[in-house]
Amino acid sequence: MVALLIGVATDRLAESAVGFLAGGAVLVLTMIMTAGMSRIPAIVTSAVGGLVALHAATVSFVLVGFSPHAAPREHAPRWWTAAATGLFHDNELGAAISDSELPLWVQLSRATGPLLVLLTVTIGFALAYLVRCRARAGATPLA
């Protein structure tokens, strides 16, 4: 519901919904995978799953919200890193096409920012829930 409200507030309802659903699906799969694991593999799987969920949300958001010309599809593996950190300063992700247009990584960061913050908080709650459920079941807690 919050993802939809963010989408309405930023005029990107479809992008926010698709992005949150993609990230949420990866998060659910991660939680299912960690259910029977011991402590260390579960921690590693959870961390990797959280990063993959953020990346999946960013990629699906950009695929729905940006044209192939504005966000070249061959650069999809770098979209999340560029949006989150601004590390890529090449012609495709770092340089503006014209003086009136922002670089793609800035556009990505502004467009996906609220969604990624929400998804990060959701990941934290989901992993805390998983730890609590494991502790109740008598399994060794993750943390």
At position 18, the amino acid (one-letter code) is: V
Residues 6+ apart with CB under 8 A from 34: 41, 42, 45, 46, 49, 130, 142
- 55-94 pLDDT, tens digit per residue, is 888 888 888 888 887 778 888 888 888 777 767 655 556 5
For the stretch 7-32, pLDDT in tens is: 666 677 778 788 888 888 998 898 88
Q: So what's the pLDDT on residue 44? A: 83
Convert the pLDDT of each residue in 34-66 to its tens digit. Answer: 877 777 888 788 888 888 988 888 888 888 888
What type of residue sits at position 53?
A
Secondary structure (3-state) at 22? helix
Length of the chain: 143
Q: Distance between CA 71 and CA 24 in Å, rounded?
A: 23
* 117 Cα distance to chain centroid: 8
90 vs 132, higher pLDDT: 132
